[in-house]
């Protein structure tokens, strides 16, 4: 995905695609180890902060990808609801 973003879109700074993908790579890294072993189900309050951090990063990352695609010349006739640009995320 990072290669595709770099190849298809022009950013003012070459590090932007890497920064966009960083949260998504973090999710993969966090999931890699638990996905391949059995872990007892225990409550760990520190996971709440980690989950919030991961969710926030992914939300911003996916929003950046959406805005990049939306700005592509072939998407000029596509109209999206303005609510997509509002950050109205609620944590429980």
Q: What CA–CA distance (Å, rounded) separates 84 from 92?
A: 20
| pLDDT recorded at residue 61 | 94
Domain count, the chain: 1
CB atoms within 10 A of CB 2: 14
CA neighbor of 52 nearest in space, from 60, 42, 41: 60
Residue 80 lies in a domain: no
pLDDT digits (tens, 9 = 90+) for 5-34: 999 998 999 999 999 999 999 999 888 877
* Inside any domain, residue 90: no
Is residue 91 scored above 70 in pLDDT? no
| Cβ partners under 8 Å of residue 14, min gap 6 | 6
Task: Establish if 83 belongs to a structural domain.
Answer: no
13 within some domain = yes
Residue 64 lies in a domain: yes
pLDDT tens digits, 47-90: 888 888 899 999 999 999 998 998 888 888 888 777 777 777 67
Whether 56 maps to a domain, the answer reads yes
Residue 84 included in any domain: no
pLDDT at 50: 87
Residue range of the domain that includes 13? 2-35+44-75
Total length of the chain? 92
19 domain residue, yes or no: yes
């Amino acid at each position: 995905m990072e290669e595709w973003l770099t190849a298809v879109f022009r950013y003012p700074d070459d590090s932007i695609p890497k920064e966009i993908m960083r949260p998504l790579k973090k999710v993969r890294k966090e999931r890699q180890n638990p996905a391949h072993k059995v872990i007892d189900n225990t409550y760990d309050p520190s996971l709440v902060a980690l989950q919030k951090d991961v969710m926030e990063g992914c939300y911003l990352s996916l929003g950046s990808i959406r805005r990049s695609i939306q700005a592509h010349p072939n998407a000029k006739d596509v109209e999206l609801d303005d609510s997509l640009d509002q950050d109205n995320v609620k944590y429980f």
